[in-house]
Amino acid sequence: MKRDADFKALAQFMGEWMRGEGPESDIAISTRIRLARNLADFPFIRRCSDEDRLSIERSVRARMESLTDPQFQAANYIDLEPLSELDRQLLVERQLISREIAESDGSRAVAFDPNEGYSVMINEEDHLRIQVMKSGLDIKSTWEQVNRLDNLLEEVILYAFHQQYGYLTACPTNVGSGLRVSVMLHLPALVITEQMDRVFRSMQKINVTVRGLYGEGSQYSGDFYQVSNQVTLGHSEAELLSLVADEVAPQIIAYERKARESLLNNNRDDLHDEVSRAMGILSTARKISSEETMHHLSKIRLGVSMGLVEHLDVKAINQMFLQSQAAHLQTLQGGVLGTAERHARRASFLQKQLTGKSDNSWN
């Protein structure tokens, strides 16, 4: 495993889940499955001493290094404790680590493959959080991969497991399978046509959580929603996967398609106008917040998917979503920036991406 990382190179790279490919990728950005696992011979994180955490980190790393599987041999292994806040934030934006582990204390680490198709967090809420990410709606192969990683790790790590309660986790909401399958969906047409409430209502009875991403409180920006299973105990992995893969995600995607179709048929001019205005703002603004950027990029992404925008593809938009976020922007520009300067450089970055040129002097 490689122990150091070039964060600037990382920020320039488009990882597996941002490829903008795979089934339904115009609406389904990515599929992610994570397994929560704990070592049998340590307390859960909350009751771990600093020495315990260090022992867990060292012992898991050594065991991963002992695995001859190429997926582990080629992995990057990053000790999160000594990292700067900016570098940790960059890993959060790339979804390789959670906000929780970024903001916690003590020994903790992440291992991920160079393609960013999987990551294993060590000393998050549970000792191990194994997750696999794929572009588009691709639950079957995502599961196959995460199950394989779990099997490999299980050969060298003795998990805390209970005959009745299954894999034991720090929070009882994860006990049993420890499995959370999440699909990130882009649902701008359902938002424009004010149907999200209906979607929330229809999901509530079937043990599925729908929540907005990238937003504060109820004001979600970018029209991204994450759909995931609620329960983990008493259902097999196959049942949980099928709930999201066969029932929920396809149903919401179908709603979104219908809403898009109705926008095209009934409000094509209005929609085209909104998309063009969004394009106008992002390609001419001189300073812009990340929230406003999300809002307009979402409209442009919708326009691209519906054939209203030329010269751009979903992958290019995904790249702008990622690289206009605070830590990416700062890493690519060479270091920590104040808010005003971030806004200016973000505007300049977007202008360059959308028009190929930039008015601002620093590019």
Partner 1 sequence: MKCQFCEKPATFHITELSEESGTQEMHLCEEHAKGFLNKQASSPVSAISSALADKLGQSAENLEELDQKECPVCGISFFEFRNSGRLGCPYDYTFFESDLRPLLINVHGNTEHTGKCPTRSTGTADSLAKMIGLRREMEEAIEREDYERASEIRDEIKALEDPFAAKSVKKEGQS
Collapse the DSSP code of 32 into the 3-class scheme (helix H, G, I; strand E, B; otherwise coil) and give the result. strand
Give 41 or 291: the residue with its C-beta nearer to partner 1: 41
Phi then psi for residue 106, to 5 deg, are 85, -175
Give 21 or 239: the residue with its C-beta nearer to partner 1: 239
* DSSP character string of 251-311: HHHHHHHHHHHHHHHH-HHHHHHHHHHHHHHHHH-SS--HHHHHHHHHHHHHHHHTT---S
Q: Which of 43, 114, 215, 250 binds partner 1 (CB under 8 A)?
A: 43
166 belongs to the binding site for partner 1 (CB under 8 A) = yes
362 belongs to the binding site for partner 1 (CB under 8 A) = no
Instruction: Pick the stretch among 102-110, 208-216, 289-297, 313-321 that binds partner 1 (CB under 8 A).
Output: 208-216
Number of residues counted as binding partner 1 (CB under 8 A): 52
Instruction: Pick the stretch among 112-120, 204-212, 263-271, 328-336 that binds partner 1 (CB under 8 A).
Output: 204-212
Contact 72, 118 (CB under 8 A): no
Contact 210, 200 (CB under 8 A): yes
44 belongs to the binding site for partner 1 (CB under 8 A) = yes
Closest CA to 45 of 112, 103, 122: 122
Q: In the structure encoding, which two tokens stand for residue 223, read together?
A: 């029209």
147 belongs to the binding site for partner 1 (CB under 8 A) = yes
- 205 CB contacts (<8 Å, ≥6 apart)? none
Q: Which of 68, 70, 164, 334 binds partner 1 (CB under 8 A)?
A: 164
Q: Which of 146, 179, 279, 300 binds partner 1 (CB under 8 A)?
A: 179
Give 133 or 203: the residue with its C-beta nearer to partner 1: 203
Q: In the structure encoding, which two tokens stand for residue 132, read together?
A: 């696999």
38 belongs to the binding site for partner 1 (CB under 8 A) = yes
**How far is residue 68's CA from residue 353's CA, in Å, rounded to a whole number?**
42
CA torsion sign for 261, 264, 265, 266 is: positive
Kindly list the distances between the CA atom of residue 204 and the CA atoms of 5, 184, 191, in Å, as whole numbers in the listed order.
42, 17, 18
Q: Is 307 annotated as belonging to a binding site? A: no
Contact 184, 32 (CB under 8 A): yes
**How far is residue 69's CA from residue 77's CA, in Å, rounded to a whole number?**
15
Q: Which of 66, 84, 141, 173 binds partner 1 (CB under 8 A)?
A: 173
The minimum distance between CB 182 and partner 1, in angstroms, equals 12
Q: Is 216 annotated as belonging to a binding site? A: yes
* DSSP character string of 42-53: S--GGG--HHHH
201 belongs to the binding site for partner 1 (CB under 8 A) = yes
Q: In the structure encoding, which two tokens stand for residue 93, read together?
A: 């934006």
The minimum distance between CB 312 and partner 1, in angstroms, equals 32
244 belongs to the binding site for partner 1 (CB under 8 A) = no
Instruction: Pick the stretch among 61-69, 87-95, 157-165, 251-259 that binds partner 1 (CB under 8 A).
Output: 157-165
Q: Which of 217, 234, 307, 356 binds partner 1 (CB under 8 A)?
A: 234
- The residue type at 285: A
Q: In the beta sheet, which residues pair with residue 28?
A: 185
**Residues near partner 1 (CB under 8 A):** 38, 40-47, 55, 125, 147, 150, 154-155, 158-168, 170-177, 179, 197, 200-201, 203-204, 209-211, 230-237, 240
The annotation places the binding site for ATP at 30-34, 129, 180-184, 211-216
